[in-house]
Amino acid sequence: MGRKRKRAGAGDGDGDGEEGSARVRVKGKHDKPKPWDTPDVDHWKIVPKPEQWSGLVEQSSFSTLFPQYREKYLQDVWHSVARALKEHGIKGELNLVEGSMTVSTTRKVQDPYIIIKARDLIKLLARSVPAPQALKILEDYMQCDIIKIGNLIRNKDRFVKRRQRLLGPNGATLKALELLTGCYILVQGNTVAAMGPFQGLKTLRRVVEDCIHNIHPIYHIKALMIKRELAKDPALANENWERFLPKFKKKNVQRKKSKKEKKPYTPFPPPQQPSKIDLQLESGEYFLSAETKAAKKFEEKKQQQLEKAAENKRKRDSSFVPPKVRLRLHNNTEYLVTGFVSGNQEI
């Protein structure tokens, strides 16, 4: 190993200097120069199928389960879903016994990547996305992401409250996120299903995970609105936008702690509290018979009932007591008189 390093170092220093300066050390395979990858190559161009297309060599299939409450809806729309998959050479199967959906390739498949799109389609259908919206995933410009949020927080009540923040009042927060990210968003159970471009999905995943981690989506919405306006200015295309973005600091309200007063120090332990039997011995109740104890307890209960009944009767009779009214005489003398008189009267 040492000789090889020495030779390589000697080779770099020898020669005229042009080859040594032009030679670039490459660490990985992906950093090697690719002379065939020129800027004029359109990587997103869809190459038409050759006339003599023999189909895929192997059959690929994906399957996913769906909840029971989606069974009736999937049974109603599966005809249109299977017809859309058939146009791309994909076979779709709905198994109501096992509660699963399966997609597999056929000999008529032209695009090998369409099976991945079909896999995403059945995932979206299982996560309560409507069929007309889910079928858009078969287009080349549309991508999807299913964000799992159920395992990000343990407390169920906190999870429900923070998930509700994504929706906002009357769905306003969800609508703002859809407009800013260009994605379709559906919050369902422990997942958030999203459909849109890659950049929007990446931004949306960060917003959703931060929301469950107690960062309100309104902060991200403000930053996204500012970025949207800055992107319209070509002069700021190559500049850092950090100085324009708002910086939010988390404020923890310090609650005033009550000071505990120190008690005077005593080297002796506190006296032992008397037990229930000790108290009965002091009052003499311990030596009473069972019949006497029961009779005494009955008398105490009866006395409490009489006191409660008297209090209730006093409350009922209070509504029949005439109120006190103020009477004013001609010589401006006022008297408080008990009687049913409306307002102040002059005599």
d(CA 218, CA 180): 12
**Does 17 reside within a domain?**
no
Burial class (CB in 10 A: 0-12, 13-18, 19+), 147: buried
For residue 290, tell me if it sits in a domain: no
In a shared domain, residues 147 and 235: yes
Can you give the residue range of the structural domain that contains 57?
53-140
Q: Name the amino acid, one letter, at 94.
A: L
Query: Where among 184, 215, 247 does a domain terminate?
Result: 247
Q: Which residues of the chain have pLDDT under 70?
A: 1-30, 49-52, 327-347
Count of residues for the chain? 347
The whole-number pLDDT of residue 346 equals 44
Do 126 and 160 fall within a single domain?
A: no
CATH number (domain holding residue 101): 3.30.1370.10
239 lies in the same domain as 164: yes
Count of Cβ atoms closer than 10 Å to residue 341 Cβ: 14
**228 belongs to a structural domain:** yes
pLDDT of the residue at 155:
92
Output the pLDDT for position 337.
64
Predicted confidence at residue 28, as pLDDT, reads 65
Question: What pTM does this model have?
Answer: 0.59
Where is the domain boundary, 140, 166, 195? 140
The rounded distance, in Å, linking the Cα atoms of 320 and 315 is 10
Same domain assignment for residues 83 and 116: yes
Task: Look at residue 203 and tell me if it is in a domain.
Answer: yes
Which segments of 90-216 does DSSP mark as H helices, in order?
Answer: 114-126, 131-134, 156-167, 172-181, 198-212
Confirm whether 316 is domain-assigned: yes
Please indicate, yes or no, whether residues 193 and 234 belong to a single structural domain of this protein.
Answer: yes
Residue 211 lies in a domain: yes
Whether residue 283 is contained in a domain is answered as no
**Quick one: pLDDT at residue 93?**
95
pLDDT of residue 98: 93
- State the pLDDT at residue 2: 46
- Considering the domain boundaries, does residue 215 fall inside one? yes
Dist. CA 316–CA 314, nearest whole Å: 5
Judge if 238 and 168 occupy the same domain. Answer: yes
* Residue 211 identity: C
pLDDT of 18 reads 44
Cα distance between the two ends of the chain: 125
pLDDT of the residue at 1? 44
The per-residue pLDDT for 321 is: 82
Residue 193 CA to residue 133 CA, distance in Å, equals 11
Strands (E), the chain: 61-65, 90-95, 100-105, 143-148, 184-188, 191-196, 324-328, 334-338, 345-346
Q: Tell whether 94 and 189 lie within a shared domain.
A: no
Same domain, 98 and 193: no
Which of 123, 140, 157 marks a domain boundary? 140
Please identify which residue in the block is written with the tokens 């459909």: 195
DSSP 4-43: HHHHHHHHHHSSSSHHHHH-----SGGGS--TT--TT--T
Q: Report CA-CA distances (Å) from 333 to 338, 340, 347.
A: 16, 20, 10
**By the 8 A CB rule, do 209 and 149 touch?**
yes
Q: Looking at the 3D structure of the chain, how many domains does it have?
A: 3
What is the chain's percent helix, strand, coil content, to nearest 5?
A: 45, 15, 40
